[in-house]
Amino acid sequence: MTFDRTRPYNELPPLPPSVDLESTAILRKCISANRALASLKVAGHLIPNQTILINAIPLQEAKASSEIENIVTTGDKLYRADLMPGNPSDPHTKEVLHYRGALYHAFRQLKDGHSITTSLLHAVCNDILRSEVQVRMFGPCKIQNRTTGDLVYLAPEGEVVREKLQHLEEFIAEDSTLDPLIRLSLIHYQFEAIHPFEDGNGRTGRILNILYLIDKGLLDLPVLYLSHYIIEHKNDYYRLLRSVTEQGNWEEWILFMLDAIEVTSTLTYYKIQRIWKLLRETTEKCRSELPSTVYSKELIELIFVQPYSKVSSVVDAGLAKRQTAAHYLQELEKIGVLESTKIGRERIYINKVLLKILTEGS
């Protein structure tokens, strides 16, 4: 049966597709992607305080994944809003913070022993949009070409949406000899093709990628910066999703996803290496230049958990009372580790080198 873009694609076949998923090209790429990912997994353990990575890198992923959906904010605004949750920030910045919250929440659920189920993905989507979204049943769900506005795809409609999700859930849980990275590529396509929710499918599907890697033990922390690659190859991403539907062109899609994993694993690996190096250098500098009453390992870690700090961050971390906390931050500024600026009535302190590492190339 040929695909007809003017009718809901209720014939979307369940996974796995009956084509060769282990061509030489795919298997080769699978080796290098797995190798890069394995190095990233190890790098995640370089930094003893995992909060540093869990806070900062997922925020960059959140920013990039949202940007694919034209929800655009800057790294600077994000970190500021993160520091001052009470302050009004623009809706895009808020949405990106919700995305990180959704990723973090789902990550915790996996760590607590939950599996990746339809209801978990539903919760992810609700967290991203901060509203109660329903699994679609009725009404057409169109995907249009972003530049021309032409209709490119009508997602399945009616009761089959739930059935297809159920199948997908079973496929995700299944044990198989097929490499998990190949399976991830299949799963991401399938989730997007089902397009189960009114909105948030792209972002939920990209969180699903990271969750799947964690579930399979290929990553311990949600630190892969996959959406960065998708932004840089946005046209290919859309073209290849279509080409699977229209021509059954799985090979090119799988190679695309494997390359995304390989390239971003390497990129994230170097980011973590640089954070680690900076953490060591900063620790050394502070140990030798700060008064011994000010220096503590915890203080240094704190200014790495978030590139922006304020007096109450130090107080809330239980490191000092207000006045002493202010003194600590001033001392850090004096030796050039932090730079301060005033936002409203509040003085905030910026770990500029860290901020640069985090936001570079994104």
Ligand X SMILES: Nc1ncnc2c1ncn2[C@@H]1O[C@H](COP(=O)(O)OP(=O)(O)O)[C@@H](O)[C@H]1O
Half-sphere exposure in the Cβ direction for 51 (13 Å, CA): 10
Count of residues that bind ligand X according to CB under 6 A:
17
Amino acid residing at 163: E
The item of Mg ion, ligand X, none sharing an interface with residue 222, based on CB under 5 to 8 Å by kind, is none
Q: Is there binding between residue 97 and ligand X (CB under 6 A)?
A: no
How far is it, in rounded angstroms, from Cα 162 to Cα 356? Answer: 44
- Length of the chain equals 362
Q: Is there binding between residue 339 and Mg ion (CB under 5 A)?
A: no
Q: Which of 15, 46, 68, 317 lies at the binding interface for ligand X (CB under 6 A)? A: 68
- Given the complex with ligand X, which of 146 and 297 has the nearer CB atom? 146
Q: Is there binding between residue 198 and Mg ion (CB under 5 A)?
A: no
Residue 342 forms beta bridges with which residues?
347
Residue nearest to ligand X (CB): 202
Cα–Cα distances in Å, from 278 out to 60, 91, 286?
18, 33, 12
Q: Contact region for ligand X (CB under 6 A) — 106-114, 198-206, 270-278, 279-287?
A: 198-206
- Given the complex with ligand X, which of 193 and 263 has the nearer CB atom? 193
- Given the complex with ligand X, which of 260 and 354 has the nearer CB atom? 260
Stated as kind and residue range, the H or E segment containing 348 is strand 346-350
Encoding tokens for residue 35?
């190798």
Q: Is there binding between residue 199 and Mg ion (CB under 5 A)?
A: yes
The item of Mg ion, ligand X, none sharing an interface with residue 156, based on CB under 5 to 8 Å by kind, is none
x/- binding map, residues 235-254, to ligand X, per CB under 6 A? ---x--xx--x---------
Q: Environment class of residue 147 by beta-carbon count within 10 Å: exposed (0-12), middle (13-18) or buried (19+)? A: exposed
Q: Is there binding between residue 69 and ligand X (CB under 6 A)?
A: yes
Nearest to 274 by CA among 335, 362, 356: 356
What are the residues whose beta carbons fall under 8 Å from the beta carbon of 199, sequence distance 6 or more? 129, 133
The item of ligand X, Mg ion, none sharing an interface with residue 335, based on CB under 5 to 8 Å by kind, is none
Q: What angle (nearest 5°) sits at the alpha carbon of residue 45, between those of residues 42 and 48?
A: 165
Amino acid residing at 75: G
Q: Is there binding between residue 205 and ligand X (CB under 6 A)?
A: yes
CB 96 within 8 A of CB 61: no
Interface with ligand X in residues 150-169 (CB under 6 A): 152-153
CB 102 within 8 A of CB 207: yes
Q: Which of 193, 275, 332, 355 lies at the binding interface for ligand X (CB under 6 A)? A: 193
**Minimum distance, C-beta of residue 318 to ligand X, in the bound complex (Å):** 38
Site of tokens 């949405």: 95
Interface with ligand X in residues 126-145 (CB under 6 A): 143
- Given the complex with ligand X, which of 71 and 83 has the nearer CB atom? 71
Which residues of the shown chain bind Mg ion in the complex (CB under 5 A)? 69, 199
Which residues of the shown chain bind ligand X in the complex (CB under 6 A)? 68-69, 143, 152-153, 192-193, 199-203, 205, 238, 241-242, 245
